[in-house]
Amino acid sequence: MDKYINAPISDEDAKSLHSGDYVYITGTIYTARDAAHKRMAEALSAGQPLPIDMKNNIIYYMGPSPAREGRPIGSAGPTTASRMDKYAPDLLDLGLKGMIGKGKRSQAVIDGIVRNGAVYFAAVGGAGAILSKCIKKSTVIAYDDLGTEAIRELEVENLPVIVVIDSEGNNLYETAIKEYSRV
């Protein structure tokens, strides 16, 4: 089922999404990859504030390529989400409501998703040039020294994603494996 949501995402919207739904996100989301997640974990350990408030926000695991002239960002495809698995449960407990990436997640992340009524979306890998067309504005807001791994605030319009793990823990990857094995 196609659904259109605004970001930041409300608790109600997160809970209304189901594994397998096609979703189009409009609003403000953030990018962060390995190095930014590590730095945020270090800040939390030191009792320092994070550069973004996690409450109801969505993090896109993406490191963009340089922008072409007249564009806010270059290719913007997802990176493998499991690389952020050691950091994600803490961010979910701080109110992170959505994550966009590709690939499977650990049981600790799935438990964090269910515990916090969050959702894990997949973006189509290899489609970064197409996905970048949904990004209307990109601003580095933290960790500029990390280059492509800096935290960016993105304004997106109808960014297409698929719900992989919903707030109840239903997992599209597991469902697909079971369905395929029957064929």
Residue 135's pLDDT is what? 95
**The domain at 1-179 falls in which architecture?**
Alpha-Beta Barrel (3.20)
**Cis before 51 (ω within 30):** no
- Residue ranges per structural domain of the chain: 1-179
Beta bridge partners of 91: none
Residue 63's pLDDT is what? 81
Q: Which residues contact 159 (CB under 8 A, 6 or more apart)?
A: 24, 25, 26, 29, 100, 123, 131, 134, 135
Residues 102 and 78 sit within 8 Å (Cβ to Cβ)? yes
Residues 113 and 17 sit within 8 Å (Cβ to Cβ)? no
CA distance 61 to 58: 10
User: Which DSSP helix (H) or strand (E) runs through 43?
Assistant: helix 34-45
CA distance 120 to 99: 5
β-strands 135-142, 58-60 pairing: unpaired
Residue 178's pLDDT is what? 65
β-strands 22-31, 58-60 pairing: parallel
Residue 3's pLDDT is what? 96
Tens of pLDDT along the chain (183 residues) come to 799 999 999 999 999 999 999 999 999 999 999 999 999 999 999 999 999 999 999 999 998 887 888 889 888 989 999 999 999 999 999 999 999 999 999 999 999 999 999 999 999 888 888 899 999 999 999 999 999 899 999 999 999 999 999 999 999 998 866 666 666
